[in-house]
Amino acid sequence: MQLERRGHRFCRYADDLQVYVRSRRAGERVMTSLSDFLESSLRLTVNRDKSAVDRPWNRGYLGYTLTRHRLPKLTLAKASLQRLMGRVREILKRGRGGDIRRVTRELAPVLRGWASYFRLVDVKRPLEALDQWVRRRLRDLIWRQWKCPKTRRRKLLALGLNGYRAWKSAGNGRGPWWNAAALHLRHALPNRWFAQRGLVSVLDTVRGLSRSS
């Protein structure tokens, strides 16, 4: 291959390609020579809008990117995370007024499939943050479903909060998103409550796949 003959370090999948060099000047030189070669010799079209000379951690590749560490680690590209969050929002929007188990069943294949694709990541903190965000979105949904303070107080009591705390929390006047992160709702709807109703943990799924591979 032409890149191997030139001694470049690179990664390639289908028509996606990244070449790694030591400096911006080298990057600009390689970019120019490769673009000329692809277009003049191979008669291929280089997408100038998507091509760039940049730091590796500023560029995504197949949904992944690299960290700034001296020994780089594989992590998620921001765009990949944003696409999944958009998909989760769509599912939760359809789930308003519905049973929470039905919502978690619809989320399960999306989260499990996404975790399977990104099982190679070295940095797990974004996965933990994603799990926390999904649970907060679900608590937000449930708080909205309870609607009035009387219903919220009754539900909080049934989930184990004492009378005074349930009464105070139910009538705090704050919005659903604030309540979704508040201690009273995290205590009433802990992580295990969602796990028992079929919510898939992206972090646990990736860890399980890593151990089995």
Higher pLDDT, 111 or 15: 111
Q: Which pLDDT band holds residue 143 (cuts at 50, 70, 90)? A: very high
Confidence of residue 176 (pLDDT cuts 50, 70, 90): very high
Residue 18 has pLDDT above 90, yes or no: no
Query: How many other C-beta atoms are found inside a 10 Å radius of the C-beta of residue 25?
Result: 10
Give the pLDDT score at 11: 53
Report the sign of the C-alpha dihedral through residues 76, 88, 135, 148, in that order. Answer: positive
Q: Are 117 and 63 in contact (CB under 8 A)?
A: yes
* Burial of 104 from C-beta contacts in 10 A (0-12 / 13-18 / 19+): buried
Q: Report the C-alpha gap between 165 and 162 in whole angstroms.
A: 6
Band (64; pLDDT cuts 50, 70, 90): confident
**Scanning the structure block, which residue is given the tokens 């649970």?**
135
104 pLDDT higher than 70:
yes
- The residue behind tokens 């994603």 is 130
- pLDDT surpassing 70 at residue 8: no
Q: Is 43 exposed, middle or buried (0-12, 13-18, 19+ CB in 10 A)?
A: exposed
Written as one letter, the residue type at 92 is L
Q: What's the average model confidence in pLDDT over 35-45?
A: 70
Backbone angles phi, psi at 98, to 5 degrees: -100, 170
pTM, two decimal places:
0.79
Provide the pLDDT for residue 22: 66
What's the residue count for the chain?
213
Amino acid, single-letter form, for residue 110: V
Q: How far is the CA of 186 from the CAs of 2, 3, 128, 204, 209, in angstroms?
A: 56, 53, 16, 20, 28
Query: What phi and psi values does residue 62 have, to the nearest 5 degrees?
Result: 55, 35
Q: How far apart are CA 79 and CA 90, in angstroms?
A: 17
Which of the two residues, 48 and 111, has the higher pLDDT score?
A: 111
Residue 144 has pLDDT above 70, yes or no: yes
Say how far apart CA 90 and CA 148 lie, in whole Å.
25
The answer to whether 120 and 156 have CB atoms below 8 angstroms apart is no
pLDDT beyond 90 at 109:
yes
φ, ψ at 53 (rounded to 5°): -105, 120
At 80 the three-state DSSP class reads helix
What confidence category does residue 13 fall into, taking pLDDT thresholds of 50, 70 and 90?
very low
Q: Return the minimum-mean-pLDDT range out of 89-93, 95-99, 127-131.
A: 95-99
